[in-house]
Amino acid sequence: MDGCFPPPKDKLIMQPESDFFSFPKMRWTVCHIRELMPTKQVSRGIGAPIPFTYAKDDNIDAITFQPLNSEQEMTWQESQSANYTDGILILHKGQIVYERYLGCLDKLGQHAAMSMTKSLTGLLAEILVAEGTLDENAKVTSIVPELKDSAFGTATVRQVMDMTTALDYSEDYADPNADIWIYSKAASPLPKPQGYDGPNGYLEYLQTVDKSGAHGDAFGYKTINTDALGWIIARTTGKNVAELLSERIWQKIGMEQDGYMTVDAKGMPFAGGGLSAGLHDLGRIGSLVLNKGKFEGQTLFPSEVVENIMAGGDKEVFAKAGYTTLPGGSYKSMWWIFHNANGAIAARGVHGQTIYIDPTAEMVIVRYSSFPSAKNSKIDPTSLPAYQAVAEYLMNKD
């Protein structure tokens, strides 16, 4: 995007998605999703932002940690490039102690949050549950009758929120007939190819999902649960997730920038992964959660919302999913619960996206990144122990 327009062919990043999400093009794409796809605004409103205060501590760069499954120590600073970090922010007691922009991100940019979007959708649902407008024990079909004949119909709202639904749905990217590809075609905002007779949009797709097994038996990380939750939220409140995020969160905590969400061809926001937002603004979200719904003297939602999430989900059903870098963890309301000594939780997205919230260290870390592999299990070795090392450093400073 500069005066050298048009860019040379090898630097042109365009549809289709298989091109723009390929590495290394992805390193640009994650900061420019809206230039490739239709999006819906998550409005911050028109008031003045509430600026952060700074208590910068450059000693953080030299903090060392031992990566998982490695004998060689690494510094915090070294972990930035190891993780293809695009932007990183550390808040301690609400103040910015560390902040770096690398890769495609700057302070006026927004970065793809990927599956961290799920945690915000889950937070909205948990708020509605705490306020009594959404019954976590209700069957989904009683709220969204259109889902009656799908696997979701017989699940409870809570099972959808915790992803313990029993879905006949494969995310095996190597299998060209996997459900993920049918889902992707349905979700694409581009006009459908001639002759296409599959589902159009998230909502039509969700109605086609069959059941496999018994709800509640196992955790299965499947994005379509979040899209179903987005529909449940929309039907409950009369507002889709983008609108509700704006009304309940974005307009309330002094955000610097609008966020935005990708949409399907019918305008439904992608509740399972469509958000892009600024680095500071995800820091504000982390602070809001750390402070259990309190922000600058206001109470946005009851503290039980965060207490429920932090209490975590069922560790046994989580263990069945076999996440080697998250032993003893759980998943609750679309947040990852580490069940570590500090009681840390996280919003996580592919390619290394994280909001890491440590209530004991009173610390929030936001990392945007574009790690070549989607799998967080490859990024966790140089990030999870790094977060813990920074937490310990900050606790010792107090």
Map the footprint of its own copies across residues 89-108, applying CB under 8 A.
Answer: 107-108
Say whether 115 is catalytic: yes
* Span interacting with its own copies, options 30-38, 217-225, 299-307, 364-372, rule CB under 8 A: 30-38
Q: How far is the CB of 16 from its own copies (least distance, A)?
A: 6
Q: Which of 256, 358, 362, 380 contacts its own copies by CB under 8 A?
A: 256
x-or-dash string of contact with its own copies, 196-235, rule CB under 8 A: -----x-xx--------------------------x--xx
162 binds its own copies (CB under 8 A): no
Q: Which of 135, 171, 258, 304 contacts its own copies by CB under 8 A?
A: 258
How far is the CA of 47 from the CAs of 54, 163, 252, 307, in angstroms?
A: 22, 37, 10, 30
176 binds its own copies (CB under 8 A): no
85 binds its own copies (CB under 8 A): no
* Span interacting with its own copies, options 4-12, 53-61, 64-72, 113-121, rule CB under 8 A: 4-12
Number of residues located near its own copies, criterion CB under 8 A:
56
Q: How far is the CB of 259 from its own copies (least distance, A)?
A: 11
Closer CB to its own copies, residue 204 or residue 392?
204
Q: Which of 21, 26, 30, 36 contacts its own copies by CB under 8 A?
A: 36
Q: How far is the CB of 227 from its own copies (least distance, A)?
A: 11
In this structure, are residues 376 and 115 in contact, taking their beta carbons and an 8 Å threshold?
no
Q: How far is the CB of 363 from its own copies (least distance, A)?
A: 23
12 binds its own copies (CB under 8 A): yes
Closer CB to its own copies, residue 38 or residue 328?
38
Longest dimension (CA), the chain: 65
Task: Please tell me the distance from the alpha carbon of residue 91 to that of residue 239, in angstroms, as a whole number.
Answer: 31
Q: How far is the CB of 393 from its own copies (least distance, A)?
A: 29
Q: Which of 23, 25, 49, 101 contacts its own copies by CB under 8 A?
A: 49
Q: How far is the CB of 85 from its own copies (least distance, A)?
A: 21
Q: How far is the CB of 6 from its own copies (least distance, A)?
A: 5
Task: Please tell me the distance from the alpha carbon of residue 32 to that of residue 109, in angstroms, as a whole number.
Answer: 9
The active-site residue, picked from 18, 43, 70, 115, is 115
* Span interacting with its own copies, options 87-95, 161-169, 252-260, 303-311, rule CB under 8 A: 252-260
Active site residues: 115
Site residues, its own copies (CB under 8 A): 1-7, 12-16, 32, 34-41, 43, 45-49, 107-108, 110, 189-191, 201, 203-204, 231, 234-240, 243, 256-258, 260, 263, 265-268, 278, 280
